[in-house]
Amino acid sequence: MPHKGSCLCGQTTIELNSSHAEQILCHCTDCRQTSGSAFSTNVLAPKTDVTISGPVKEYSIKAASGNTVTRVFCSNCGSAISHLTAAFGDAQAIQTGNFADFKEIPITTELFVKDRWTGLAPISGAAQVKAMT
């Protein structure tokens, strides 16, 4: 089922023309900073299935892996929308907090658990990935 979401102010919209049965939770420092929380929730979607409309800005930074990560966010309200890196190939990570229907989709993988805040327990049944290379 396709998914439609938007940033906090509603000026930037995101359409995913693909179905997603699972989500990824990431504890890395960059995801924490862009989400303003202890982690971010994401799906990897084929770039060809993603349509982002509205005012966006991009910010690129070198990740701990050495890969460049380009973060996409609403240039009006600052909501994190997406991030891209060569490590994802033909896919991009889409921040699922911008979609109401992702509250029903399970988190099946936790990334960068080496950076998980000590007050947060692992998600039961989710794969636990220490870091990415």
Looking at residue 112, its pLDDT comes to 93
pLDDT digit string (tens) for the chain, length 133 residues: 689 999 999 999 999 999 899 999 999 988 899 899 999 999 999 999 999 999 999 999 998 778 899 999 999 999 999 999 998 999 999 999 999 999 999 999 999 999 999 999 999 999 999 987 6
Phi, psi for residue 98 in degrees, rounded to 5: -90, 5
C-alpha 24/C-alpha 81 separation (Å) is: 15
Looking at residue 132, its pLDDT comes to 76
Instruction: Give me the long-range contacts of 124-128 (CB less than 8 A, separation at least 24).
Output: 126/25
Looking at residue 76, its pLDDT comes to 97
Q: Which CATH number fits domain 3-117: 2.120.10.30, 3.30.360.10, 2.60.40.1120, 2.170.150.70?
A: 2.170.150.70
Looking at residue 67, its pLDDT comes to 86
Looking at residue 83, its pLDDT comes to 94
> Which ranges constitute the DSSP H helices of 9-120?
29-35
Give me the half-sphere count of Cα atoms (radius 13 Å) on the Cβ side of residue 115.
Answer: 19
> Domain segments of the chain: what residues?
3-117
C-alpha 17/C-alpha 78 separation (Å) is: 24
* Residues whose CB is less than 8 angstroms from the CB of residue 124 and which lie 6 or more positions away in sequence, other chains included: none
- Residue by residue, DSSP assigns 85-126 as EGGGTTEEEEEGGG-GGGGGSPEEEEE-GGG--TT-PPPTT-
Round the CA-based radius of gyration of the chain to a whole number and report it: 14
* Exposure letters 58-80 (e unless 16+ CB within 10 A, then b): eeeeeeeeeeebebbbbebeebb
Looking at residue 65, its pLDDT comes to 76
